[in-house]
Structure 1
């Protein structure tokens, strides 16, 4: 048994029952505004995901509970930013936050696989399937639940780099300063770039001042919402991989909720994962078209010699991450099996 009386499987079983019993509103007998959670996002308020992921989750939840469950949404840095968000949720400073799974690689063996191993999955549905149906999210929660935290994926999104300098060969790629995070740091470094982590709230300034030459913040949607195309006119494809954003919840705070409120929260997060992942792919196409028309963005394919270096780096990272323990090895097997079935291996 994990810390507290509930684990993620128990919570989601309750949510499934709630879906059958209460398709519309729940908690009609609970006073309006009875629950008011502060939620610390890793997204700056300028990021589209602050509104379209977290903002929509909050409004759907409030509607479903007839106003009984409200969220106060905090942009990156208001209480904490980046990896520090995990600790304030774990300690109960705030009951809930959003993070990249890359922030908890030291806490969960399979976190790198939920973040996404670059150069592996090519389409969003592949990552969705691996996270929710094949067990990546469960493997991460085996570790996090022991610390009193539960993770649920927010969405799957592509990762593509935007840079201020044209990449015409592997020589151009080598030493390129790129803002990155998680396994992408190792991936880009193995391929010869010079990646570094920079918090989202500091990213635009770092690009405009030349601290870094480029970045990935998702792909087109992230580049547009964070104004990255103002200083980085070259948008490169193919994507480096598929990744996820995620929510984390303090499990003691979750246990303190009435059953209706707890079911409404987990059910809404689960439903929004699939809705948000699908709408994000649509938004990517719209954002890239507008970037070309309005910002003069050039969409360019990475050179073949760069792709060859990246492919070699991907294989090494998968094997390295698999060595981190039993759950990491299981996560690696999920990747290998699905990639084999898809004909990628």
Structure 2
């Protein structure tokens, strides 16, 4: 072998070695550039304030933070599925993600009623944040959902308030009203003498305007304004029935298949948005209610004392039922009662 041949051989060997050493970096770069698009079926109609301020805002922020590598394609209520159907299409992988009220799927986990919110217990949004994240209610729910192939994350905590077509002065007046509701709020309103009805979000306005129901709740002031309920039901009832959570719901297999960096960014953003959105919502509530009073003749009305008394009795009964569902719900109920005790509510 000549000196020239040896030089060529060494160059080829070095080049080959460099290629081998570079391969992991090349593969890593390729993996890092994987792009993902998820369809997200919302339970919010596109007219609802939360469709844009919660779902669309999340999609935009995720797109920005991942440099366009992770996109969410958003669908309003009923475009693929609605209400409880969203849980089933996510669980089966028809779509990888949705938004949902835990009220629609109370039977899927013992602690789901606590995750939704027990009416008449907590009074401030931050209290629900504490219960959900720091006191472990969200974890209890996911421990039960994981074997079913589903993951849920709290989207925001918010007050739930009723609007009515006519003013009431007593529980007797309430007894003549049909009110659209969901979850344990159905039992809560029934205990006060009302006749609660379950109606899908996109159908609520028509139900109120045609007299199918005499009132409804869809969040509180923001929901009433964005869904135009105040056009047909201008009496806004205080205090709130309770503090509740909305939620993101994801197919666990789809979540686990995400590239590690995208999964980390996505889950971190969901955690961040829960706190940011819950606080933002309170400011928007004040703006919405002031708008209603100033421009739409909305009148804020306090629930009559005899109705509040019935609500308190109903809350105690609902809390006992939650505790009796099983060991998991008993653990969650204990955490809620301890929080209420610390706050001086019981």
Which residue is equivalent to 1:193?
Answer: 194
Match of 1:157 in 2: 158
203 and 28 in structure 1: CA distance in 2 versus 1, 3 angstrom threshold: farther
Aligned partner of 2:177 in structure 1 is 176
- Cα gap change, 1:290/1:87 in structure 2, threshold over 3 Å: closer, same or farther? same
| Corresponding residue of 1:338 | 339
Query: 1:207: how far off?
Result: 0.7
Structure with higher helix content: 2
Displacement of 1:175? 3.4
Q: Indicate whether 1:132 and 2:133 are aligned.
A: yes
Answer yes or no: is the 8 Å Cα contact 2:31–2:259 preserved in 1.
Answer: no
1:233 deviation in Å? Answer: 0.7
Distance 1:300 1:234 in 2: 6
Q: Distance in 1 between matches of 2:71 and 2:323?
A: 40
Residue pairs, 1:74-223, within 5 angstroms:
74-223=75-224
Give the TM-score of the pair, scaled to structure 2.
0.90
Aligned twin of 2:262: 261
Give TM-score, length-normalised by structure 1.
Answer: 0.91
> In the TM superposition, what is the alpha-carbon distance from 1:32 to its structure 2 partner?
7.0
What is the CA distance between 1:38 and its match in structure 2?
Answer: 0.2
After superposition, give the CA deviation of every residue in 1:202-250 in whole Å (9 maximum; x if it has no partner). 1111111110000010100110010000000100101111001000110
Residue 227 (structure 1) aligns with = 228
Alpha carbons 1:150, 1:248 under 8 Å: kept: yes
1:278 is matched with 279
Distance 2:154 2:133 in 1: 8
- Check the 8 A contact 2:91/2:148 in 1, yes or no: yes
5+ residue gaps, structure 2, are 1-27
2:247 is matched with: 246
| Residue of structure 2 in register with 1:47 after alignment | 48
Give the distance between the partners of 1:234 and 1:32, measured in 2 at CA.
Answer: 53
Q: 2: CA distance between counterparts of 1:180 and 1:331?
A: 24
**Structure 1: any 5+ residue segments left out of the alignment?**
1-26
Deviation beyond 4 Å, 4+ runs, structure 1: 27-33
2:11 aligns with: none
Alpha carbons 2:34, 2:259 under 8 Å: kept:
no
SS at 2:39 equivalent: strand
Report the CA distance between 1:165 and its aligned residue. Answer: 1.3
Q: SS at 2:108's partner residue? A: coil
Cα RMSD after superposing both structures:
1.3
User: C-alpha displacement at 1:33, in angstroms?
Assistant: 7.9
The count of aligned residue pairs is: 319
DSSP-derived class of the 2:247 partner: strand
Contact 1:32 1:66 in 2 (8 A): no
SS in 2 for 1:117: coil
